[in-house]
Amino acid sequence: MTERRANNGPMSWRRWLPGSLGARLLLFIGAAIVFTTVLQGIFAYRNALVQTDSLFDYQMQQTAFALRAGLPVDAQGRTQGTPLEDENKDFIVQVWTNEGLRIFESALGAALPQMAVLGFADVPAQGTTYRVFSLQTRSQVIQIAQDMRVRQTLARDAALQSLWPVALLAPLLALVVWWVIRKSLAPVQRVRAELAGRQPQALAPVAVQGLPDEIQPLVLEFNHLLQRVSQAFEVQQHFVADAAHELRSPLAALQLQLQALRRATSEAEREAAQAQLAAGIERAKRLVEQLLALARQEAAPAATEAMVDLRQLAEQALADCAAAAQAAGLDMGLSEDPQLQAAFSIPGDAQALAMLMRNLLDNALKYVPAGGRVDVGWRQDGRGRALVVEDSGPGIAPEERERVLQRFVRGEDAGGKAGGSGLGLSIVQTIAERAGAQLVLDQSPALGGLRVQIIWPALAA
């Protein structure tokens, strides 16, 4: 029973509405026309009844006034009445003497009661109600009565007469409304037909000329969405093309290393080929991981932000890279500069920021020579709050700093030293932009190498 009541609730009537906007407009406007016609009929009937009452009351008054001069009396002491066959009980005239003797009646046997109340009154008689006007003169009382059904019939006829034009014009009005709705929705139908005939790759904006003002904002927002989708498709196509190009080299290298392993004739040659093949597989694995990470960051919706402790993320990332740093002969740890020790938390996605931190440390491991140093810290000044990672490596030339942020681009100074994919800084920039931060590359004043700053200007003090 509960489910049935829920299905028949206040919103169930929407299921009976037509799906077409034009049909809905025609239905509601048609219902409004019918409702207005009914109201007009009711008001017309009431107005006609009031006017009829006023007109007949005036006529009854004038008839009574005309009879004030008196009536001739016949030999039996009563005036001549209307012949029986010509009686009309819808309109009755009676005259009484002041002593209560009826001396005239227009309808024999009408037997309306003598009214003691002068003026207008409604009197039930003969199975109906009469409107009675009584006038007293010096010698007689004159009564004029009319059946109320006559008035109601005349009022109804007058109301129907006033409604006939509306009833005849209603179909024409509905036809005009249908034509206007159809012409008004023609641009919407044009847009629908245009979109229905498009190919999936057609992302050109929809023309808004001629569209109603209520529809234009919707189409404009749809065009903005098409523009964003087109840009996303373009970026994705470039990404796929670049990824295919970058994967071709490591796969070709793996194939050559596998052939070298098969041609090895001695154990030493076989071990060397196996080592080269393992290194090639590791590089290809790293490249695929970075490609997937970049694709996820670009396609993933904005995550729910929470306060993230950067010191905790930095300590975890440094612990993960400790073995690799020791193997590479690098001194990697938290900065000892007091200005870089003002620990703080920022709102963001902890998983994405952890990936950002790992990519920065991975770049340092690839490009900083043995015996070098890598410091991780954070600061707060007038520019905002920033995560700072700096090293003592070769750095990046100023003219190359903007270019290395592009995908699959490596700096000239480091390109020959490490087999990087050129995706690390692209991933860092993507995560920083999604976190509302800015990636800045410059030279480390303390260590002389590259300094990477992730600045959150919105959180400036």
Q: Over its length of 461 residues, how does the chain's per-residue pLDDT go in tens digits?
A: 444 444 455 555 566 666 667 777 878 888 888 888 788 778 877 787 788 778 878 888 888 887 776 655 543 344 444 454 455 667 788 887 877 787 877 766 556 666 557 888 888 877 788 888 888 888 788 888 888 888 888 777 877 777 777 778 778 888 888 888 888 778 888 887 888 888 877 788 888 877 777 788 888 888 888 888 887 777 677 667 656 655 666 777 778 778 888 888 888 888 888 888 887 787 777 767 766 766 666 655 555 567 888 888 888 888 888 888 888 899 999 887 776 666 577 877 787 888 888 888 888 888 888 889 999 988 877 777 888 999 998 888 888 888 888 766 665 544 444 555 567 787 788 888 888 888 989 998 889 899 999 888 854 44
Give me the pLDDT at residue 5, please.
Answer: 46
Give me the pLDDT at residue 244, please.
Answer: 67
User: Cβ distance 96 to 140 under 8 Å?
Assistant: yes
Give me the pLDDT at residue 84, please.
Answer: 46
User: pLDDT digit string (tens) for 373-385?
Assistant: 999 988 877 777 8
Give me the pLDDT at residue 452, please.
Answer: 92
- CA distance readout (Å), 52 to 4, 58, 122, 285, 430: 53, 10, 15, 99, 85
- pTM of the full predicted structure? 0.47
Give me the pLDDT at residue 56, please.
Answer: 79
Amino acid identity for residue 237 in this structure: Q
User: pLDDT digit string (tens) for 208-250?
Assistant: 877 777 788 888 888 888 888 887 777 677 667 656 655 666 7
CA dihedral 186, 190, 196, 197 (to 10 degrees): 140
Count of beta carbons in the 10 Å neighbourhood of residue 115? 19
Quickly tell me which residue has 């995550």 as its tokens. Answer: 303
User: Cβ distance 369 to 414 under 8 Å?
Assistant: no
DSSP 63-108: HHHHTTT-----TTSS-----GGG--TTEEEEEEETTS-EEEESST
CA atoms within 13 A on the CB side of 87: 10
- State the sign of the Cα–Cα–Cα–Cα dihedral 73, 78, 81, 84: negative
List the structure tokens of 80: 């001549």
Give me the pLDDT at residue 1, please.
Answer: 42
Q: What angle do CA 438, 406, 391 make, to 5 degrees?
A: 60
Give me the pLDDT at residue 450, please.
Answer: 92
Nearest to 426 by CA among 439, 407, 413: 407
> Angle of helix 350-367 relative to helix 267-299, nearest 10 degrees?
140
